[in-house]
């Protein structure tokens, strides 16, 4: 297999097909057609979504090994307000790799067992994997392998490693409700911006174990869209939480919610905080890691 030729043929097409979560119709059709032509047994519309699976069976006893790729893209807002789908998170590369693996395995042949290509929709909103799990796409799988393009930060050029600890991610959103007043009489109001600024500072003062890669960033702060001489009565605030530890992620969530609600109270405001989306950190199987290390060495 000519790897560069495969990339040149497949990647530009997938890059141009960019479709958002659960709308990967043309993308899924391209993948299904490619895999069928290789001789894989393809199942489309898994879980009544755009998800698909493709199986290559050696006909000999052995495990079923899954290779997983995501399919969706991100939506970007243009200056005119229109939304443009762009593969800015590397899923076009992920699909190219999965199809390359499928092609290579078909050419080389399987010694035993089966390989199952999992093409997952809606990674960006954290719901595609759940849909495939609920549909039973992994019920017959003994080993699942995944990957993500960000090699320059995790592995040196030309280096192969068995594991990268990708983080859990939680997106949280809060609303702070104060009391509007005229700028000449601030004592009659409750400035939601003051409470929001204090919340941001309190969040920035949180410190977690650096070995776990925990972090919290304030990624949204919106309020005060009215007159400049009016006390702001409402602020929308958002946070991005990360950690390689699922246990630490639960603790970070708790702290953010407590800071938002309790800091607002100190300023005489009310606030609530809720989770918009979340995805757990991968917890690797030690036996699979050991096997992967053996294969790399071989």
pLDDT score of 152 more than 70? no
Same fold, 3-149 and 168-279: no
- The full set of domain ranges for the chain reads 3-149, 168-279
pTM: 0.78
Categorize the per-residue pLDDT at 257 as very low, low, confident or very high, splitting at 50, 70 and 90. Answer: very high
**Residue 15 pLDDT exceeds 80:** yes
**Segment 187-236, tens digit of pLDDT:** 999 999 999 999 999 999 999 888 888 999 999 999 998 789 999 999 99
Which class in CATH covers the domain with range 3-149? alpha beta
- Does the pLDDT at position 165 exceed 80? no
The overall average pLDDT reported for the chain is 94
DSSP string, the chain: --HHHHHHHHHHHHHHT---TT--HHHHHHHHHHHHHHT-EEEEEETTTTEEEEEEE-SSS--EEEEEEE---EEEE-TTS-EEEE--SSHHHHHHHHHHHHHHHHHH--SSSEEEEEEE--TTTT-HHHHHHHTTTTTT-SEEE---S-HHHHS-TT---S---PPEEEEEEEEEE-B-EETT-GGGSB-HHHHHHHHHHHHHT----GGGT-EEEEEEEEE--S-TTEE--EEEEEEEEEES-HHHHHHHHHHHHHHHHHHHHHTT-EEEEEEEEEEPPP---HHHHHHHHHHHH-
- For 168-279, the fitting CATH number among 3.30.300.20, 3.30.70.360, 3.40.630.30, 2.40.50.140 is 3.30.70.360
**Angle at 218 (CA atoms; ends 256, 208), nearest 5 degrees:** 55
Q: Which of 115, 110, 100 is nearest to 11 (CA)?
A: 100
User: What average pLDDT does range 83-95 have in this prediction?
Assistant: 95
Q: What is the pLDDT, as a whole number, of residue 34?
A: 98
């Amino acid at each position: 297999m000519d790897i560069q030729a495969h990339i040149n043929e497949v990647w530009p097409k997938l890059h141009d097909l960019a479709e958002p979560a659960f709308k990967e119709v043309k993308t899924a059709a391209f993948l299904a057609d490619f895999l069928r032509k290789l001789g894989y047994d393809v199942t489309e519309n898994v879980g009544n979504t755009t998800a698909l699976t493709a199986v290559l069976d050696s006909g000999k006893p052995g495990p079923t090994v899954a290779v997983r790729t995501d399919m969706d893209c991100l939506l970007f807002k243009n200056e005119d307000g229109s939304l443009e789908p762009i593969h800015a998170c590397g899923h076009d590369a992920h699909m190219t790799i999965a199809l390359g693996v499928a092609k290579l395995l078909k050419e080389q042949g399987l010694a035993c067992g089966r390989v199952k290509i999992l093409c997952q929709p809606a990674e960006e909103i954290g719901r595609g994997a759940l849909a495939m799990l609920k549909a039973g796409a992994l019920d017959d799988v003994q080993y699942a392998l995944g990957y993500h393009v960000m090699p320059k930060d995790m592995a040196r050029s030309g280096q192969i490693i068995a594991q990268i600890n990708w983080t859990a991610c939680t997106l949280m959103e809060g609303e702070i409700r104060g009391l509007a007043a005229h700028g000449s009489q601030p004592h009659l109001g409750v400035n939601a911006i003051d409470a929001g600024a204090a919340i941001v500072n309190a969040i920035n003062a949180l410190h977690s174990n650096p070995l776990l890669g925990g972090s919290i960033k304030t990624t949204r702060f919106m309020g005060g869209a009215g007159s400049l001489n009016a006390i702001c009565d409402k602020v929308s605030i958002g946070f991005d939480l990360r950690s390689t530890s699922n246990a630490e992620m639960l603790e970070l969530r708790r702290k953010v919610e407590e800071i938002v609600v309790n800091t607002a109270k100190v300023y005489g405001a009310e606030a609530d905080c809720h989770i918009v989306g979340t995805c757990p950190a991968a917890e690797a199987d030690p036996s699979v890691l050991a096997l992967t290390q053996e294969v790399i060495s071989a």
